[in-house]
Amino acid sequence: MDQLNLLSSITYIDTERSIEAGEMKIVETECNIQLFTDTLVTSATKFHVENIWDISYKSFSSEASLLYLHTHRGVLTYKIYTDPDKFVETFKKLKNENY
């Protein structure tokens, strides 16, 4: 993706759980959701903006929130530790320009 077309980005935590030698192992990795003029890219998926209906979020502790991508494939949830207001506002402005 051309970084010049990057409108906004937010960091989320990808949590991978596995069992090794009978013990639960949890690995957390920082990833980014990047919003471009026509696409939104995560570490695992890529969506055209037209296939994203909405983005919302809900705080669940004093440090973290859940960011929800409402898409044509269903709702995807991402754990975030930063304020998502700017990211969500940028998306909503982009959607209003296109529709």
b/e map of 72-90 (b: 16 or more CB within 10 Å)?
eeeebebebeeebeebbeb
Domains and CATH numbers, the chain: 3-98 (2.30.29.30)
| pTM for the full predicted model | 0.83
Q: Answer yes or no: is pLDDT of 89 > 70.
A: yes
Residues 16-72: pLDDT tens digits? 999 989 999 999 999 999 999 999 999 989 999 999 999 999 998 888 999 999 999
User: What was the pLDDT predicted at 62?
Assistant: 84
